[in-house]
């Protein structure tokens, strides 16, 4: 990657991926875009930024040409809970945006990355150590768009030779930008509420396991996959990757080690619980490890320590 266009840059991943890539590739070589502009954003102020609606393929192509981009990282998408509330919009944005981005990549010979998700699996998928290649019959609109997206990326690689690559992200946890409308968001909210209120009312039932990852590991995974030797990649779209699998009472117990009086209660949201129940408990990332050396630095304990430290500063809590 030399000159990279990113979509959806003010979202949870983009807010950290843009500065991360600018550190590696240089400020002027990372073109951030988003459907909106906001005040005091390092993404907007730290290098080139353009307003872009991913449903406007013509403007996307113009920006890629204007900046002579050789890579596209397409992040703009609705997450699982929002997609379930607005399925038509989710189809339009998740599939329409991806199709436009792939077309622009094809026309301009760009390498291409887009994230899939553990949401690409469904109730009939093996739940424990879910294999890389297995049954994918998701029960959510989010999952339908993720499986379709994986297939579409495979198609563009096989049919047109577009260098498409992707991972199935687990829930991503970070202290910079909060996720918007996912099922795994509880694992971010819990840290904020632990510091601000000393308690958390969890919408996911105790005992519900899901895969998770700290953002630093997710950013490194994107860069390492995009820079990997293509001759070694058998799967391309999309690799299972994970750092840890836990359920709400386990993250609560970890927080309690730092905030003694912290308490978790439960008020289960049937929609998000239903989504979580349809996803794997834990996925097997052996292929990512073997094909491009995927590895992680953070587990639940080291992530919790870092999250609480960084959030304390962010929230100005002593």
Active-site annotation, residues: 142
Q: Is 171 in the site for ligand AKB (CB under 6 A)?
A: yes
Which of residues 71, 80, 132, 238 is near ligand AKB by CB under 6 A?
Answer: 80
For ligand AKB, how many residues bind (rule: CB under 6 A)? Answer: 12
Distance between CA atoms of residues 159 and 145, nearest Å? 20
Give the interface segment with ligand AKB, choosing from 91-99, 155-163, 164-172, 237-245 (CB under 6 A).
164-172
Dig out the tokens for 291 from the structure.
């094909």
Burial of residue 56 (CB within 10 Å: 0-12, 13-18, 19+) is: middle
**How far does Cα 140 stand from its chain's mean position?**
17
> What is the x/- site pattern for ligand AKB, positions 287-316, by CB under 6 A?
------------------------------
- Angle at the Cα of 164 from the Cα atoms of 84 and 42, rounded to 5 degrees: 70
Q: How far is the CB of 35 from ligand AKB (least distance, A)?
A: 19
Dig out the tokens for 152 from the structure.
């579409």
Q: How far is the CB of 79 from ligand AKB (least distance, A)?
A: 4
Which of residues 15, 100, 164, 184 is near ligand AKB by CB under 6 A?
Answer: 184
Q: How far is the CB of 82 from ligand AKB (least distance, A)?
A: 8
Which residue, among 169, 217, 227, has the nearest Cα to 25 in the 3D structure? 227
Beta carbon nearer to ligand AKB, 211 or 254: 211
Q: Is 183 in the site for ligand AKB (CB under 6 A)?
A: yes
Q: How far is the CB of 276 from ligand AKB (least distance, A)?
A: 8
Beta carbon nearer to ligand AKB, 3 or 272: 272
Distance between CA atoms of residues 255 and 194, nearest Å? 8
Distance between CA atoms of residues 307 and 304, nearest Å? 5
83-122: which residues touch ligand AKB (CB under 6 A)? 117-119
Buried-exposed string 220-240: b where 16+ CB fall within 10 A, e elsewhere:
ebbbebbebeeeebebbbbbb
Q: Is 149 in the site for ligand AKB (CB under 6 A)?
A: no
Beta carbon nearer to ligand AKB, 10 or 118: 118
Distance between CA atoms of residues 150 and 176, nearest Å? 28
Which of residues 14, 57, 149, 182 is near ligand AKB by CB under 6 A?
Answer: 182
Q: Is 8 in the site for ligand AKB (CB under 6 A)?
A: no
Burial of residue 91 (CB within 10 Å: 0-12, 13-18, 19+) is: middle
Q: How far is the CB of 278 from ligand AKB (least distance, A)?
A: 12
Kindly tell me the sign of the dihedral angle through the C-alpha atoms of 60, 61, 65, 70. Answer: positive
Q: Which residues bind ligand AKB (CB under 6 A)?
A: 79-80, 117-119, 169-171, 179, 182-184
């Amino acid at each position: 990657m030399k000159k990279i266009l990113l979509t959806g840059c003010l979202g949870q991943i983009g807010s950290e991926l843009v500065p991360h890539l600018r550190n590696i590739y240089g400020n002027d070589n990372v073109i951030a875009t988003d459907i909106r502009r906001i005040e005091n954003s390092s993404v907007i102020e730290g290098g080139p930024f353009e307003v872009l609606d991913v449903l406007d393929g013509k403007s996307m192509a113009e920006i890629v040409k204007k900046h002579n981009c050789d890579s596209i990282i397409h992040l703009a998408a609705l997450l699982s809970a929002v997609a379930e509330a607005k399925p038509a919009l989710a189809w339009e944005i998740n599939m329409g945006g991806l199709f436009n981005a792939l077309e622009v990549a094809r026309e301009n010979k760009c390498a291409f990355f887009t994230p899939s998700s553990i949401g690409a699996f469904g109730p009939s998928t093996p739940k424990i150590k879910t294999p890389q290649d297995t049954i994918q019959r998701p029960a959510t609109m989010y999952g339908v768009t993720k499986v379709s997206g994986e297939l579409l990326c495979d198609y563009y690689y096989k049919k047109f030779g577009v260098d498409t690559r992707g991972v199935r992200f687990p829930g991503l946890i970070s202290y910079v930008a909060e996720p918007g409308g996912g099922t795994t968001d509880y694992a971010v909210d819990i840290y904020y509420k632990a510091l601000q209120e000393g308690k958390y009312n969890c919408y996911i039932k105790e005992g519900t396991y899901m895969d998770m990852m700290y953002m630093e590991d997710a950013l490194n995974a994107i860069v390492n996959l995009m820079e990997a030797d293509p001759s070694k990649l058998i799967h391309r779209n999309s690799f299972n990757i994970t750092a840890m699998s836990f359920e709400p009472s386990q993250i609560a117990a970890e927080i309690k080690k730092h905030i003694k009086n912290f308490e978790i209660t439960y008020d289960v949201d049937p929609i998000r619980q239903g989504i979580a129940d349809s996803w794997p408990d834990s996925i097997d990332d052996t292929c990512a490890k073997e094909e491009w050396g995927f590895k992680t630095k953070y587990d639940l304990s080291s992530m919790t320590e870092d999250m609480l430290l960084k959030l304390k500063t962010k929230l100005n809590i002593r």
